[in-house]
């Protein structure tokens, strides 16, 4: 601050000195012009000789004393002085070049003469006819100019000192505030902390999203960009604009509160935690639990399969005991009929599914679900209107959708009388339409949109995590393909889920056009052979 003040004062003094010099020269020039304009001086210059007591000397001294000039010198065309403050100089030649003034020009300058350095003004002296008969030179003592400058310096330094004090006080206050905000850390420590923060943010396996007090995205680390599927171009945007409307944006914006909130982004299941900061912003952390959720679902499926196998083993033991009893009673025909009936039921179910569904993955899923449903006392039926060719673009996505809906339906009808689940899959051009109906209690009107929200569920959470993801994932998969997922009331009660997937099938392969076969003329048949054939036919 002191250096800035000194520099500013020095920069101000330089133009001030130039300004004082210019004022002194203009003053000298004005006095010279006034003197030269007096006709008496021109007449006396022409009619007298230069002397210490001559009229020109007397008039010049009066002007000098009245104006406060250092000297007023009147000279003729030869440069001879007719007046001077030093009487010994009268009659002598001037010490500076008068040629410009004698040539008719007004001159302002800072120059040195017999009286030292001075600010001068020189003008031509003309007679009544306008002819140049001499010149007038007036000098202002340069020490007076310097004295004015020196006199102004204390005031300048007073202002500079005041500015320095104010600047020092402001710098001290700012320094204290910075120290409080930076917790007395040095600049090198702050730089090291920033480097460590960047390395930590981009090195951890959790997504980090920082938002400012206005709710705009301020920072994204690499993992957050990967999990959310966005880039650095979203920095400065609010979450709704960066991510689109949805639960993920609601959680990041703070409209949904809580800990370990579940959000679905694309096909990823994320756990989000949001913590406010002191500056009014917030920091949100994202963890990818897609694999954990998949493992949990596989665990649920495995448990269900184990339960189904346990029940099937019990049923199988009963059937074996029945078959053993028939054999011991030597009722062999009844034993054969019993085995055929048991095997035929399973074969009929598999054949029924594969005849209507061409995709192997989806057919295998429904056959397995039918077995599990039978062991749980639920009839899983594939509608007679089901027709699905083997031309699916994303069979795994449809398997996920069907599996989630069938599992939810089986859970809804479990323990109810005459439990039944019906699956209908049909196509309309390249659009696939899936309907899953059940005979359960159905979905109330007020909850028909809520059930597709992440984290919403009426079931008890399992041991491995939270529920409320399956139906949300179903809707996301449908919307990703430009389709929709809705729920309504099935005929006769229960729930009916309808999934529409446009462009779900590839174009059918065109049937090859066979070239027409060439016409063949029948070969002539001998008359005897033809007659024999007729006789044979009549017999």
Distance CA 231, CA 205 (A): 17
DSSP string across 99-149: HHHHTT--EEEEEEETTEEEEEEEEEEE-TTS-EEEEEEEEEEHHHHHHHH
- Cα 265 to Cα 249: distance, rounded to the nearest angstrom: 10
Share of the chain above pLDDT 90, in %: 10
Do 122 and 41 share a structural domain?
A: yes
Per-residue pLDDT at 197 exceeds 60: yes
Please report whether residue 519 resides in a domain. no
Structure tokens at 482: 């430009």
Domain boundary among 247, 267, 288: 288
- pLDDT tens digit string along 24-33? 888 889 999 9
In a domain, 299, yes or no: no
CA distance linking residue 402 with residue 489, whole number of Å: 18
| pLDDT score of 463 | 44
Please say which residue of 149, 165, 180 terminates a domain: 149
Same domain, yes or no, for 217 and 145?
no
- The answer to whether 134 and 78 have CB atoms below 8 angstroms apart is no
C-alpha span between 432 and 501 (Å, rounded): 5
Question: Are residues 479 and 385 part of one domain?
Answer: yes
Q: Does 99 reside within a domain?
A: yes
Is residue 368 within 8 Å of residue 350, measured between CB atoms?
no
For residue 190, is it within any domain?
no
Residues 143 and 267 both lie in one domain: no
Same domain, 490 and 376: yes
Q: Which range marks the domain in which residue 44 is found?
A: 2-149
Instruction: For residue 19, name the pLDDT band (cuts at 50, 70, 90).
Output: confident
Asked if residues 438 and 458 have their Cβ atoms less than 8 Å apart, the reply is: no
**398-424, pLDDT tens digit by residue?**
888 888 899 889 888 888 888 899 999
Structural domains of the chain, count: 3
CATH number at residue 459: 3.30.565.10
Judged by DSSP in three states, 539 sits in: coil
Whether residues 98 and 213 share a domain: the answer is no
Query: What pLDDT, on a 0 to 100 scale, did the predictor assign at position 122?
Result: 92
What is the DSSP secondary structure assignment for residue 437, as one 8-state letter?
E
Residue 507 lies in a domain: no
Whether 368 and 431 share a structural domain: yes
22-26, 61-65, 182-186, 370-374 — which is least confidently predicted? 182-186
Does one domain contain both 206 and 145? no
Residues 47 and 119 in one domain: yes
In a domain, 205, yes or no: yes
pLDDT confidence tier of residue 499, bands split at 50, 70 and 90 = very high
Does residue 339 fall inside a structural domain? no
Per-residue confidence (pLDDT) for residue 529, from 0 to 100: 41
Within 13 Å of residue 483, how many CA atoms lie on the same side as its CB?
23
Nearest residue to 234 via CA among 209, 203, 264: 209
State whether 276 and 377 are in the same domain. no
Question: pLDDT digit string (tens) for 134-182?
Answer: 999 998 876 655 555 556 566 666 666 777 777 778 877 887 777 777 6
Calpha distance 248→207 (Å, rounded): 13
Q: What's CA 376's distance to the chain center, in Å? A: 52
- Same-domain pairing of 362 and 459: yes
Q: Give 283-334 pLDDT, tens digit per residue.
A: 998 888 766 655 655 665 566 556 656 656 666 677 787 878 878 887 878 7
Q: What is the model's pLDDT at position 191?
A: 66
Closest CA to 124 of 116, 114, 115, 134: 134
What predicted TM-score, i.e. pTM, was given to this entire model? 0.42
Convert the pLDDT of each residue in 229-265 to its tens digit. 888 888 889 988 888 887 788 888 888 888 878 777 7
Mean pLDDT on 467-477: 73
Residue 250 counted as domain residue? yes
pLDDT exceeds cutoff 80 at 539: no
What CATH number should be reported for the domain holding residue 129? Answer: 3.30.450.20
Based on the fold, state whether residues 50 and 128 are members of the same structural domain. yes
Q: What distance in Å separates the CA atoms of residue 374 and residue 420, rounded to the nearest whole number? A: 10
- Res. 106: pLDDT tops 80: yes
Question: CA angle at residue 435 from 432 to 440, to 5 degrees?
Answer: 165
Would you call 236 helix, strand, or coil by DSSP? coil
Percent with pLDDT over 70 in the chain: 72
Boundary (domain end) residue, out of 265, 288, 311: 288
């Amino acid at each position: 601050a002191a250096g800035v003040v000194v520099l500013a004062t020095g920069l101000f003094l330089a133009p001030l000195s130039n300004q004082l010099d210019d004022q002194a020269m203009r003053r000298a020039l004005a006095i010279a012009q006034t003197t030269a304009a007096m006709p008496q001086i021109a007449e006396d210059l022409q009619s007298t000789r230069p002397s210490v007591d001559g009229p020109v000397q007397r008039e010049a001294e009066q002007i000098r004393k009245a104006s406060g000039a250092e000297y007023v010198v009147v000279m003729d065309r030869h440069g001879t002085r007719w007046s001077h403050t030093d009487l010994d100089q009268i009659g002598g030649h001037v010490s500076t070049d008068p040629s410009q003034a004698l040539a008719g020009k007004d001159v302002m300058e800072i120059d040195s003469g017999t009286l030292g350095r001075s600010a001068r003004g020189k003008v031509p002296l003309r007679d009544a006819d306008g002819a140049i008969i001499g010149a007038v030179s007036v000098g202002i003592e340069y020490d007076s100019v310097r004295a004015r400058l020196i006199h102004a310096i204390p005031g300048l330094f007073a202002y500079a000192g005041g500015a320095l004090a104010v600047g020092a006080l402001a710098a001290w206050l700012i320094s204290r505030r910075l120290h409080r905000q930076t917790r007395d850390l040095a600049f090198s420590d702050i730089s090291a902390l920033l480097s460590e923060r960047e390395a930590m943010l981009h090195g951890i396996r959790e997504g980090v999203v920082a938002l400012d007090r206005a709710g705009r995205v301020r920072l994204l680390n690499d993992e957050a960009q990967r999990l959310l599927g966005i880039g650095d171009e979203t920095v400065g945007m609010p979450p709704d604009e960066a991510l689109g409307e949805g639960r993920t944006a609601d959680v990041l914006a703070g409209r949904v509160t809580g800990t370990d909130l579940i959000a679905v982004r694309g096909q990823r299941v994320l756990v989000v935690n949001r913590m406010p900061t002191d500056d009014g912003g917030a920091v949100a952390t994202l963890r990818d639990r897609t694999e954990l959720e998949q493992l949990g679902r596989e665990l649920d499926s495995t448990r269900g399969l184990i339960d189904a196998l346990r029940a099937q083993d019990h049923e199988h033991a009963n059937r074996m005991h029945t078959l053993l009893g028939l054999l011991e009673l030597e009722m062999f025909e009844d034993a054969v009929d019993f085995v055929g009936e048991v095997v035929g039921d399973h074969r009929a179910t598999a054949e029924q599914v594969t005849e209507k569904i061409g995709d192997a993955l989806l057919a295998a899923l429904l056959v397995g679900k039918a077995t599990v449903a039978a062991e749980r006392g639920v009839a899983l039926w594939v509608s007679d209107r089901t027709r699905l060719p083997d031309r699916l673009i994303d069979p795994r996505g449809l398997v996920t959708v069907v599996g989630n809906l069938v599992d939810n339906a089986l859970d809804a009808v479990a323990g109810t009388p005459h439990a039944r689940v019906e699956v209908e899959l049909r196509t309309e051009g390249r659009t696939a339409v899936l309907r899953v109906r059940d005979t359960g209690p159905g979905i109330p009107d007020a909850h028909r949109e809520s059930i597709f929200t992440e984290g919403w569920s009426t079931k008890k959470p399992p041991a491995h995590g939270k529920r409320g993801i399956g139906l949300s994932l179903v809707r996301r998969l449908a919307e990703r393909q430009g389709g929709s997922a809705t729920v309504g009331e099935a005929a006769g009660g229960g729930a009916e889920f309808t999934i529409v997937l446009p462009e779900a099938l590839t174009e059918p392969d065109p049937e090859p056009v066979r070239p027409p076969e060439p016409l063949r003329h029948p070969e002539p048949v001998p008359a005897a052979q033809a007659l024999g054939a007729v006789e044979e036919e009549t017999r």
